[in-house]
Amino acid sequence: MNLALFDLDNTLLSGDSDFEWSQFLIEQGVLDRELFEAKNLAFYEQYKAGTLDIHEFLDFQLKPLSRHARKVLNQWHEAFMRIKVRPMMGDKARALVKEHLAAGDVCVVITATNSFVTAPIVREFGIEHLIATDPEQKDGEFTGGVAGVPSFREGKVARMEQWLSERGWSWGSFEQSCFYSDSLNDLPLLSKVKRPVAVDPDATLRAHAEQQGWPVISLR
C-alpha cells in the first residue's frame, strides 16, 4: 500500500485558491477592494516568503465567511469554481492524480487553505481525502474562527499524523510515501515522506531539493 500526498495551491493548481477566493469576492463587490486587496496581496507575499503569521491571516480570510449565510456562500463558490478554479486545473495535474488513483494509492490533498474553499476542488480532482484548515462552524454556519490546528507548516505534520492515527496507520504502514509540493512552507512534511517531490518550486524549495537530490517536476 502506497500513500500519495498533494499540496493544492501552486501544485495541483496553477495558482492559489486562497488568494483567488478573496480576489473573487472583491471582484463580486462582496469585499471592499480598497480595504481588502492590498491586505490580500501582502499576506500572499508573506506566505511565499515563509513569514506568514497563519493566525493573523486566518482572521482576515475566515471573517468574511461569518458575515454571509452558508447557502449564499455555496452559490458564490459555484461561480468561483467556474471563473477562477477550473482554469487552474491543468491536464498534467489531472493526469498525475489519475496515475496514483489507478495504482490504488491512498491519495490525500493536504493544504493550508480552508476546507470550505478547497473541498469542492479536491472532489473535482477525484480525490476522496482532504486535510485542510477547518473553519469553525455553529449550526452549519461559519463563526469566523478556526477549529483545531491550522494545516500549515509543522501543523501539516501534526494534522497528517493525527489523520493516520485515526485510521490505525503510521508512516511505516506504507511501502512508499510521496508528497508533491511547491512551497518552502512544506519542508517539514516533505521531510517526513520517503519520496519528496518539488513541483514548480519556489526558489528556496528548489535549492533544497537540488541539494537533497529530490525530484523536481513541472505540472504546467
Q: Which DSSP category does 197 fall into?
A: E
Residues with catalytic annotation?
7, 9
Interatomic CA distance for residues 149 and 42, integer angstroms: 23
**Nearest alpha-carbon partner for 146 in 80, 31, 53:** 53
DSSP 90-142: -HHHHHHHHHHHHTT-EEEEEEEEEHHHHHHHHHHHT--EEEEEEEEEETTEE
Sheet of 195-199, strands arranged across = 141-147, 129-138, 106-114, 2-6, 176-181, 195-199, 216-217
Query: What residue type is assigned to position 2 of the chain?
Result: N
Rounded to whole angstroms, what are the CA distances from 138 to 118, 130, 144, 145? 20, 21, 10, 10
Interatomic CA distance for residues 131 and 212, integer angstroms: 27
**Nearest alpha-carbon partner for 13 in 75, 93, 67, 70:** 93
